[in-house]
């Protein structure tokens, strides 16, 4: 039985490759650790990793994600950004042949108490000012020598840090760069600093490895500008369709809590996407949808499965018409700024319903 999908996220492999090449053109001599955590920022982790055979490695946040990639047959290095939390997880890391980001003293102790039979590569996470993960810069020397003493730690320990505000605060970012340089300049080993915003704006941070996330997906890391304006191409095209059209009279209201009342006789359409599909519940009246070349604003509260849009701009709407939620026709950055959420959050939230992927003509579809 062929069921119609309510929501389709098309993932454009050519756009992904275009964005990957953009990263390479900005950071020519750096290796690329492609960030595919968060299920490939909502795009499907296998879709993304299998489409980037040229990436030097991938980074995931959970062992489950690493497992899925290895099961699929991904051979490149895979780094676990959270590292491991106990001995059992360390054994999984060894079994899956993962790199680990080391950010907490407990992890170093667990390593020192283990006797691994295969080598693992560690990325020593230096906290240069984000104060989320990582070690104080003054601890680098001691940790470096303790880790070097372990027989199963692959030589050339990698040193890395992560920026808190590379997308908008140059004073803070320059300070983090200075702190990292101060803590690591004495070590002749691979280094990594740059996320997407730093790849674009801070060439000095490119170092041996860059770690692009959001820009690979064609989305801007900086607010006030779209990925397209930065020369990127949107990878995700999220669409749904109209399941009902109705005429309502001036003064009638739509949806839960009657948050929108028609200022004039209106035609509205019901689109089969809601917060159960990852669409933000908080989207206000007026959030844009795209239908056949026209922008149609939402009216009323987003419900679990549906949202109403004003079809006034469309001359003869029909049930079944495709509606684009975001994609090349309607930048996710624009939707995000109206909803007051980050575009990272919007794309990553897609597909909380059970979903599957298909591959045809190099276009992958994620359906829910
Ligand atoms: C998510 C992440 C990145 C990528 O950040 P973007 O802003 O999406 O490019 C880089 N490094 C680390 C450690 C991360 O967790």
Q: Are residues 256 and 133 in the same domain?
A: no
Residue 5 maps to a domain: no
Residues 171 and 68 in one domain: yes
- Are residues 251 and 183 located together in one domain of the fold? no
What does each of the 368 residues of the chain score in pLDDT, given as a tens digit?
666 778 989 999 999 999 999 999 999 999 999 999 999 999 999 999 999 999 999 999 999 999 999 999 999 999 999 999 999 999 999 999 999 999 999 999 999 999 999 999 999 999 999 999 999 999 999 999 999 999 999 889 999 999 999 999 999 999 999 999 999 999 999 999 999 999 999 999 999 999 999 999 999 999 999 999 999 999 999 999 999 999 999 999 999 999 999 999 999 999 999 999 999 999 999 999 999 999 999 999 999 999 999 999 999 899 999 999 999 999 999 999 999 999 999 999 986 553 434 344 445 555 44
| Cα(22) to centroid(ligand 1), Å | 17
Among the candidates 163, 189, 218, a domain finishes at 218
Name the residue at shortest CA distance from atom 12 of ligand 1: 162
Q: Which of 218, 251, 268 is the last residue of a domain?
A: 218
Same domain, 245 and 212: no
| Same structural domain, 86 and 206 | yes
Q: Which atom of ligand 1 is nearest to the CA of 101?
A: 13
- Residue 133 CA: nearest ligand 1 atom is 13
Q: Residue 78 Cα, ligand 1 centroid: separation in angstroms?
A: 14
- Give, using CA atoms, the residue closest to atom 8 of ligand 1: 213
Indicate the top mutation candidate among 59, 80, 82 to test ligand 1's pocket, ranked by most ligand atoms within 8 A of CB. 59
The answer to the question of residue 171 being in a domain is yes
Question: What ligand 1 atom has the least distance to the C-alpha of 211?
Answer: 10
Q: Are residues 181 and 278 in the same domain?
A: no
Is residue 4, in this structure, part of any structural domain at all? no
Return the best residue to mutate from 81, 213, 216, 235 for the ligand 1 pocket (most ligand atoms within 8 A of CB). 213
Are 102 and 213 in the same domain? yes
Could you confirm whether 37 is annotated as catalytic?
yes
Q: Is residue 231 part of a domain?
A: no
Do residues 257 and 174 both lie within one domain? no
Which residue's CA is the closest to the ligand 1 atom numbered 6?
213
Looking at ligand 1, which atom is closest to the CA of residue 37?
Answer: 1
| 253 plus 286 within the same structural domain | yes
Which residues have CB under 6 Å of ligand 1? Answer: 35, 37, 81, 162, 195-196, 211-215, 221
Same domain, 62 and 161: yes
Q: Say how many domains are in the chain.
A: 2
* Residue 110: inside a domain: yes
What domain range is 243 assigned to? 236-367
pTM of the shown model: 0.94
Q: Write the CATH number for 143.
A: 3.20.20.10
Q: Is residue 70 part of a domain?
A: yes
Give the C-alpha distances (Å, rounded to integers) separating 344 from 67, 150, 216, 260, 272.
Answer: 24, 38, 12, 28, 23
Q: Assess if residue 226 is contained within a domain.
A: no
């Amino acid at each position: 039985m062929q069921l119609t999908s309510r929501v389709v996220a098309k993932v454009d492999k050519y756009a992904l490759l275009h964005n990957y090449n953009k990263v390479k053109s900005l950071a020519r001599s750096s290796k690329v650790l492609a960030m595919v955590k968060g299920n490939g920022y909502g795009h499907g982790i296998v879709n993304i990793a299998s489409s980037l055979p040229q990436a030097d490695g991938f980074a995931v946040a959970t062992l489950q994600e690493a497992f899925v990639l290895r099961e699929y047959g991904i051979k490149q290095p895979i780094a676990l950004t959270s590292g491991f939390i106990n001995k059992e997880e360390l054994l999984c890391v060894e079994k899956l042949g993962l790199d680990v980001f080391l950010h907490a003293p407990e992890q170093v102790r667990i390593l020192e108490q283990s006797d691994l039979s295969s080598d693992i590569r560690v990325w020593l996470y230096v906290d240069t000012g984000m104060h989320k993960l990582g070690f104080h810069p003054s601890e680098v020397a001691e940790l470096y020598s303790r880790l070097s003493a372990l027989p199963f730690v692959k030589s050339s320990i990698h040193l890395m840090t992560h920026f808190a505000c590379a997308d908008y605060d140059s004073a803070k970012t320059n300070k983090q760069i200075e702190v990292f340089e101060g803590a690591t300049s004495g070590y002749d080993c691979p280094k990594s600093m740059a996320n997407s915003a730093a790849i674009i704006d801070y060439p000095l941070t490119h170092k041996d490895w860059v770690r692009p996330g959001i820009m690979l997906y064609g989305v801007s890391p900086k607010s006030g500008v779209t990925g397209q304006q930065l020369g990127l191409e949107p990878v995700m095209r999220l669409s749904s369709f109209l399941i009902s059209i109705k005429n309502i009279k001036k003064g009638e209201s739509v949806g839960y809590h009657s948050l929108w009342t028609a200022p004039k006789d209106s035609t509205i359409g019901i689109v089969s996407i809601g917060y159960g599909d990852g669409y933000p519940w908080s989207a206000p009246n007026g959030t844009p949808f795209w239908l056949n070349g026209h922008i149609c604003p939402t009216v009323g509260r987003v419900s679990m499965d549906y949202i109403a849009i004003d079809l006034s701009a469309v001359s003869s709407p029909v049930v079944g018409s495709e509606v684009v939620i975001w994609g090349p026709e309607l930048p996710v950055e624009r939707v995000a700024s109206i909803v007051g959420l980050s575009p990272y959050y919007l794309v990553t939230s897609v597909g909380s319903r059970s979903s599957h992927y298909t591959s045809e003509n190099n276009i992958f579809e994620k359906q829910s």
